[in-house]
Every structure is written in structure tokens, then in C-alpha cells.
């Protein structure tokens, strides 16, 4: 009520709306103030929300959602080991498609290849979306690309920061990593039980650990402004739902090629492709319908646009087996 109101709301009006006592209203107002809301109370007028800072709670996240299913059910944790683990446990317990696990702090955040993901309290977006797509398991790897597109667009819509996708699972700003994505799934034969996509966005970090400060950044460091994390989560979920629906129409990236490649870092530039046991330098050509990264490989003489050759390998168990970066 306080968010939607243009002026003051009387305590009596709140009491009648929720059928509670004045004492109960006062206690809730005090609780909101401890969570970071700045509420003005004026005798004979009532209460007015003056400012809601960067508050992360289930209620705040849910109020920022403008979706039909993505993130409509929110599981919020002040602290947890990993939101991916929480989302997988929820999926095993029967949680619905689109359930979102969010934490203010992760003490065992996970990155690709088992690496730890730094997830400090109060400054980042650490969330995992659980979905139940009716597609073949071999197509599920492309959901990482859908998530990357949603994060890049969501950041732009929230704070105006232009970011790019570093195929397959990083979002970068000025060449520095601002978000990482980790996708995991559970399958039975030819059927997907569920897919969990974890997204870790460096939002309001004023500084980063010494070992990563040269290769990573945050929204605050890039823009000089703090972002409201609940609004960022809502924007990412809105973009995810939009792009997921397009993806599901064909079961591949054909309907998203243009928009994805427009967000792709190093497009038509020289990149170094790292594969298991080998690497080479080529020109980035973008992705194809299957989400494979096409690269003109000078060693093999693949012509530009020949998407049958010069590819990085396909995803295996939702982990890309090649990685692309600028050579210099």
C-alpha cells in the first residue's frame, strides 16, 4: 500500500484493509524501517514511504516482478550455500516451473568447472531460476545463451549500462566480467526433469578482490551509481520470460540469432578459442541456430559464413567444452 500511495495512508485505513490492530501496524512499520525503508509518520495524516533503498527480501522481489511465470514463486535466503543447490532441492520437492531462488549471501557459490564464486553480502544478485522445459536434453545447453541475453538486457533496462555477452556464459562491460552463469540439469533418458540456471551479477561492489579486480567489474564501478537489486532481478526475469518463449517456439536459437549476435562481444574480431588439449586463433562469426559459436579458423581455411566448419565443440552436460577470448 505504501509503495502505490501518492501521499499519506492513515493507520486506520491500513487496519481496515488487513483487519489488524493499530499495534500490529506499528510493529510492521518498525520492522520495515529495520529492513531499510524510510517511512515518515505524521500525526493525523498517517504514514508515507519516503524512500526504499536497495532492499532485498521476498516481498520486495515479488513486488518488482512483471512476469507470468518467471520468478513468480520466490525462495529468498539471507544466507545459503548455493542458490543452485536450493533451486535443485526445490525442483526435487515439486516446485513449479519458473521458481526463483535468491540469496543475499552465498558461502559456497559455484562457478564453472567447480570454481568458487565470490558472493558477498548486500552487494550482488545471486539467483537461480528453475524451469521444466519440454525439449530434448541435447537442446538444453542453449538455455545458458537465453539467460545471458536476458541478463545483458536486464542490466541495460535497469541502469542503462551497455554490456556484451562473452560466449557462452559471461557478461562483460568494457571487457571485464560483470556476471557469470552456471546451468545444470536433471534428466531421465530422453526427458528433462528440470534445468537450473544460476546467475551471479556484480551489482553494488565498491571494490573487488585483488586477484580478480583486473578482469572483473561491477555495475557500481562502471556507472558510479548503485542499482536496486530487486528491480534488476525483476528486469532480468521479464527479459528471460520473453526470450525463453521465443526459444521454445522452435526449440533452438533461430528466432534469437539477430538479437543475440548484436549483444555478442568480439563479433567479427579475432579471438582465441580454447579447446580441450588445443587452441587456435580465428575470427568470431557469431552463433548458429544450435547456439554453437562459429569461428573462421585460419588453420583450416573455413570461409566466413560457413557454419559447418570452424566450430567450437557442442555443449556437453550443459558445460561448453571451448572458451573464447581476445588473443591480445
184-205 mean pLDDT: 94
Per-residue model confidence as pLDDT tens digits over 11-62 = 888 888 888 888 888 888 787 766 666 676 778 788 776 555 678 899 889 9
The answer to whether 145 touches 168, Cβ cutoff 8 Å, is yes
Mean pLDDT, all residues of the chain: 84
* 327 pLDDT higher than 50: no
State residue 109's pLDDT score.
63
State residue 145's pLDDT score.
97
Per-residue model confidence as pLDDT tens digits over 249-287 = 999 999 999 999 999 998 888 888 777 777 778 888 899
Cβ density class 19-48: b for 16+ within 10 Å, e for less: eeeeeebeeebeebeeeebeeeeeeeebbb
The answer to whether 240 touches 158, Cβ cutoff 8 Å, is no
Domain parsing of the chain, residue ranges: 11-52, 58-263, 270-325
CATH 1.10.10.10 fits 11-52, yes or no: yes
The answer to whether 291 touches 299, Cβ cutoff 8 Å, is no
Confidence of residue 305 (pLDDT cuts 50, 70, 90): very low
Residues 6+ apart with CB under 8 A from 171: 148, 151, 152, 155, 163, 164, 165, 177, 178, 179, 180, 181, 201
296-306 mean pLDDT: 43
Among 168, 155, 142, smallest CA distance to 233 is for: 155
* 298 pLDDT higher than 60: no
CATH 3.40.250.10 fits 58-263, yes or no: no
What is the per-residue DSSP string for 162-230? --EEETTTEEEETTEEEEEEEEEEEEETTEEEEEEEEEEEE-S-SS--TTTTTTB--HHHHHSS---HH
Would you call the peptide bond into 106 cis, given omega within 30 degrees of 0 as the criterion? no
* 309 pLDDT higher than 60: no
Per-residue model confidence as pLDDT tens digits over 105-154 = 998 765 555 555 567 888 999 999 999 999 999 999 999 999 999 999 99
Confidence of residue 4 (pLDDT cuts 50, 70, 90): low
163-188 mean pLDDT: 95
Amino acid at each position: 500500500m505504501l509503495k502505490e500511495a501518492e501521499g499519506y495512508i492513515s493507520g486506520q485505513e491500513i487496519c481496515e484493509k488487513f483487519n489488524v490492530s493499530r499495534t500490529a501496524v506499528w510493529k510492521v512499520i518498525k520492522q520495515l524501517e529495520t529492513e531499510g525503508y524510510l517511512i515518515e509518520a505524521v500525526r493525523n495524516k498517517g504514514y508515507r514511504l519516503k524512500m526504499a533503498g536497495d532492499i532485498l527480501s521476498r516481498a520486495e522481489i515479488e513486488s518488482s516482478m512483471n512476469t507470468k511465470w518467471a520468478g513468480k514463486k520466490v525462495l529468498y535466503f539471507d544466507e545459503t550455500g548455493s542458490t543452485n543447490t536450493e533451486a535443485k532441492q526445490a525442483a526435487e520437492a515439486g516446485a513449479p516451473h519458473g521458481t526463483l531462488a535468491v540469496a543475499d549471501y552465498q558461502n559456497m557459490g559455484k562457478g564453472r568447472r567447480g570454481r568458487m564464486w565470490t558472493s558477498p553480502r548486500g552487494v550482488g544478485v545471486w539467483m537461480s531460476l528453475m524451469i521444466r522445459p519440454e525439449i530434448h536434453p541435447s537442446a538444453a545447453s542453449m538455455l545458458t545463451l537465453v539467460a545471458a541475453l536476458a541478463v545483458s538486457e536486464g542490466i541495460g533496462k535497469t541502469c542503462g549500462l551497455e554490456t556484451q555477452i562473452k560466449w557462452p556464459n559471461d557478461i562483460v562491460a568494457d571487457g571485464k566480467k560483470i556476471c557469470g552463469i552456471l546451468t545444470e540439469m536433471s534428466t531421465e533418458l530422453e526427458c528433462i526433469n528440470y534445468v537450473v540456471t544460476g546467475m551471479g551479477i556484480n551489482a553494488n561492489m565498491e571494490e573487488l578482490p585483488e586477484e580478480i579486480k583486473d578482469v572483473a567489474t561491477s555495475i557500481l564501478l562502471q556507472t558510479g551509481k548503485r542499482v536496486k537489486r530487486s528491480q534488476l532481478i525483476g528486469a532480468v526475469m521479464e527479459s528471460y520470460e520473453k526470450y525463453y518463449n521465443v526459444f521454445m517456439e522452435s526449440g533452438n536459437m533461430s528466432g534469437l540469432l539477430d538479437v543475440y549476435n548484436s549483444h555478442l562481444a568480439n563479433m567479427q574480431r579475432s579471438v582465441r578459442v580454447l579447446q580441450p588439449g588445443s587452441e587456435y586463433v580465428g575470427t568470431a562469426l557469431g552463433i548458429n541456430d544450435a547456439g554453437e559459436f562459429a569461428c573462421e579458423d585460419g588453420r583450416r581455411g573455413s570461409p566466413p559464413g560457413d557454419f559447418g566448419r570452424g566450430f567450437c565443440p557442442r555443449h556437453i552436460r550443459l558445460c561448453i567444452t571451448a572458451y573464447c577470448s581476445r588473443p591480445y
